[in-house]
Amino acid sequence: MSRNLSTKIRSLTPTIKEKLCTLARGIDKTRVVTLNVLFVAIIVGVIIIAFSGGGPDVPKSTTLVVAPAGSLVEQLGGGDPLERAKQELMGGAESETLLKDLIDAISTAKEDERVKALVLDLNNLGGAGVTKLQDLGAVIDDFKTSGKTVIATADNYSQTAYYLAAHADEIYLHPMGMILLEGLGRYRTYYKDGIDRLELDWNVFKVGTFKSAVEPYLRNDMSPAAREANLEWMGDLWQAFLTDVSAARGLSVEDLVDYSENVSAYIEATGGDTAQAALDAGLIDTIATRDEVRARLIELVGEDEDAHSYYRVGIDDYLEAEGGDRTGEKAKGDLVGVVVARGLILGGTQPPGKIGGDSTSALIRQARQDDNVKAIVLRVDSGGGSAFASEIIRRECELAKEDGKPVVISMGSVAASGGYWISMASDEVWAHPTTITGSIGIFGMFPTYQKPLAKYLGWRVDGVGTTRLAGAIRPDRELDPEVGEIIQSIINKGYDEFITLAAEARGVTPEDIDRVGQGRVWSGEDAFELGLVDKMGGLEDAIASAAKLADLGDEFAVKYIEKELDFKQKLVADMLGAASTLLGVSAEPVNSADAPHREVLRLIEDQLEILDEFNDPSGMYAYSWLDVD
């Protein structure tokens, strides 16, 4: 039949063929015109949404729904606002929630008569440092002083989610839900046997008995020194967690510890009913299905008949409706400039969510050269990275001080190793008691793989050079011992410089810093006792102190110093953001508890990604390999 059809087609007269071609061209032209019309219609709709003055409506009686997705962070990653808007529109943005947005919205809602209750929807909350949980818990407690109700709900509560839920007036858990308080742990993958099996030469150079970042390449287990240091700082953080939850929930620390360590007995006593076990332990108030929680909220604020649910407004819509200047971009008068340094420290220009030696120092310089900015606060949330990039940033802070502008460091969840390095040129260093800091140490690594190349592929490298060092830094050649000595000398020099700068900053001797250095990690509380930081407190405390150092009194504003977009970039970013809203695009967080194997693969991938991104020109790193979030 197909042969007959082909014959018929070939027998068509030229006139008929021309008519068919004309018809095809007409259909194609119609398709193009239709698509263009649709595209223009979407653009027009987006522009109308992006630039309409009204913004989202806030019902007269409503709940503010706090539903953090993914990790709580000090700064959103994924590039500048324009790049992030593109990723969100395409559905490729990593799920993160900006801590500042939650704090700002809850603080505003406290005084807003339209907001009758606060709902903590904690189903999709990922990781969060203890300092971030404490900051958010404090603002929830402050909201409660208004007399408004706070309700927490989740199908299951992670340990992180439960910390926040404990601050609620009413905690609801699904009948099939569970609460796990597993404590704090630090486990890493160790590669020594695998490296030996592959016959790799993983050359490591370091200074610091406690500098455990390189241990996975040298050992098959955690060293006794690392065990000692890790247990000490984790013990401080776990005790703070228990104390806070105890105070918020009205349970004793002993009760919480008992549930944490004997959860199997609690569950067994209920015949396997995990929700009832949590209720019996006093961790929740009510076991309720989703519709029952919804009915309770309708009872509080009324029913939105169109949505068949309770009246509600989310964080983004609420902040937009309030028209708040979220970064202080429009602030006038005397300013305290806040520069956020979050993530891995790398050389060059890096996007938000990472710290670039060039890009972060440029922000500090922008604040230094702005006559309206009278003081600078550097908010550090980093486990370190490139020593060279760290020094570029530290020097920029030093220049700001020399120009007469107070520089105050505010340490977040982590300010260790390179994160401590960039904190040294300052007038004051503030840390939370639960900040992870210190880790004053240096390391470098240079793996070579000439043995497996020869054994498995029969490949060998040979040649000549005019000096002994020519071609010496090749991963497919054995590392020359003399080159190894050179690298170790550089690492030793880097450590000496680290402790010398720290000693000058802290007003002590290098020997004093060495005694608390050697790569050892400390909690903020211990760091304060050891003299590594000046004061205990959060970001707001550091901002107030910076204003005081600049003699600003109470008449000052806060401006977050960020990379400036030109008008065209802002226009496109606003349009893309509006398009995301119009199309209902959202990032779905991956819950690692639902897929434990994914979490293992993610951890390995993260370590490999960090190794791949390391770009210090001298191969010298002040990095503590600690989770920031």
Please list, in sequence order, all residues whose beta carbon lies within 8 angstroms of the beta carbon of residue 469, skipping any fewer than 6 positions away: 480, 482, 483
Amino acid at 335: L
Q: Are 426 and 505 in contact (CB under 8 A)?
A: yes
* Conformational region of residue 461, where left means phi above 0, alpha means psi within -120 to 50, and beta covers everything else: beta
Would you name the residues annotated as active-site residues? 211, 417
Angle in degrees, CA 584, 585, 590, rounded to 5: 130
Q: How far apart are CA 278 and CA 266, in angstroms?
A: 8
| Structure tokens, 443 | 């390391």
Angle in degrees, CA 246, 248, 250, rounded to 5: 60
Q: Which backbone phi and psi does 212 adopt, to 5 degrees?
A: -90, 0
What is residue 176's three-state secondary structure? coil
Other beta carbons within 10 Å of 429: 27
> Of 108, 105, 104, which is closest to residue 146 (Cα–Cα)?
108
Q: Are 443 and 457 in contact (CB under 8 A)?
A: no
Q: What is the DSSP string of 359-374?
A: HHHHHHHHHHT-TTEE
Q: CA 544 → CA 245, 377, 521, 551, 552, distances in Å?
A: 28, 10, 28, 11, 9
First-residue to last-residue Cα distance in the chain: 66
What is residue 627's three-state secondary structure? coil
What is residue 335's three-state secondary structure? strand
What is residue 594's three-state secondary structure? helix
Q: How far apart are CA 275 and CA 281, in angstroms?
A: 10
> Of 544, 521, 27, which is closest to residue 235 (Cα–Cα)?
521
Residues written for the chain: 629
Q: Are 482 and 173 in contact (CB under 8 A)?
A: no
> Of 225, 148, 249, which is closest to residue 441 (Cα–Cα)?
225
Q: How far apart are CA 581 and CA 317, in angstroms?
A: 10
| Structure tokens, 521 | 């990690």
Q: How far apart are CA 156 and CA 410, in angstroms?
A: 33
The partner residues of 415 in beta bridges, in order of sequence, read 382, 437
Q: What is the DSSP string of 278-319?
A: HHHTTS-SEE--HHHHHHHHHHHH-EETTTTEE-EEEHHHHH
Q: Are 162 and 181 in contact (CB under 8 A)?
A: yes
Q: Are 101 and 319 in contact (CB under 8 A)?
A: yes
Helix (H) or strand (E) holding 581: helix 567-583
Pairing of strands 345-346, 521-523: unpaired
